[in-house]
């Protein structure tokens, strides 16, 4: 029987320097520290309702395997409006973390890497009423000016 999960509750990352990663995530996503212990920190989204969203466990200096190793590819953090996604892009760019951006039809996304090179996505989802009009999943360039013109102020996080 399949497990009836409803959403990702939290993620835990192994990091090389827990203090550096704590500083990054608290600045990148406005996260609050909810608990700390030697070598570990637990964070929650300031606008979130979860007890914690991200755990960071220090494992020491990172090693880089050749190519891509099995394991985590990225985490996706949802924002409520396209306006917030545009702001997220500016924040990540200012942090020197932005690595890409794209439209996937029903979602608009920016991509970044934390100090250990762990990739993550910040995304905004179209209103559910628009999903069928988009068709399948795509990977296309994103025009933020056009997206803002069409969707500015439209809130979608509560739909899920």
Q: Alpha-carbon distance 159 to 155, whole Å?
A: 9
Range(s) of the domain holding residue 52: 10-60
Does residue 87 sit in the same domain as residue 28? no
Give residue for tokens 């628009």: 130
Q: Alpha-carbon distance 61 to 68, whole Å?
A: 18
Does residue 132 sit in the same domain as residue 157? yes
Q: How many separate domains does the chain show?
A: 2
User: 2-43, pLDDT tens digit by residue?
Assistant: 667 667 889 999 888 999 999 999 999 999 999 999 999 999
Does residue 87 sit in the same domain as residue 41? no
Rounded to two decimals, the pTM is 0.83
Does residue 45 sit in the same domain as residue 84? no
Does residue 146 sit in the same domain as residue 85? yes
Model pLDDT, residue 21 = 94
CATH code, domain with 152: 3.30.720.110
Provide mean pLDDT across the span 56-74.
Answer: 72
For residue 128, pLDDT beyond 80: yes
Question: Taken in order 103, 106, 109, 114, is the CA torsion positive or negative?
Answer: negative
Q: Alpha-carbon distance 42 to 34, whole Å?
A: 6
User: 84-124, pLDDT tens digit by residue?
Assistant: 999 999 999 999 999 999 998 889 999 999 999 899 999 99
Model pLDDT, residue 150 = 96
Does residue 152 sit in the same domain as residue 96? yes
Greater pLDDT, 152 or 134: 152
Q: Which two tokens stand for residue 3?
A: 């497990």
Does residue 80 sit in the same domain as residue 145? yes
Does residue 52 sit in the same domain as residue 83? no
Model pLDDT, residue 69 = 64
């Amino acid at each position: 029987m399949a497990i009836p999960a409803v959403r990702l509750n939290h993620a835990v990352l192994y990091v090389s320097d827990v203090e550096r990663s704590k500083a990054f995530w608290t600045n990148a996503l406005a996260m609050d520290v909810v608990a700390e212990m030697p070598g570990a920190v637990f964070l929650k989204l300031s606008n979130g309702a979860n007890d914690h969203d991200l755990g960071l466990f220090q494992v020491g200096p990172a090693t880089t395997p050749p190519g891509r190793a099995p394991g985590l590819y990225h985490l996706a953090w949802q924002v409520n409006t396209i306006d917030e996604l545009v702001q997220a892009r500016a924040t990540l760019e200012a942090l020197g973390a932005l690595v890409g951006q794209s439209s996937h039809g029903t979602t608009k996304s920016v991509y970044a890497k934390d100090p250990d090179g762990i990739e993550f996505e910040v995304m905004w989802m179209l209103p559910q009423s628009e999903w069928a009009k988009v068709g399948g999943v795509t990977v296309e360039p994103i025009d933020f000016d056009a997206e803002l013109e069409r969707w500015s102020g439209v809130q979608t996080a509560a739909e899920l």
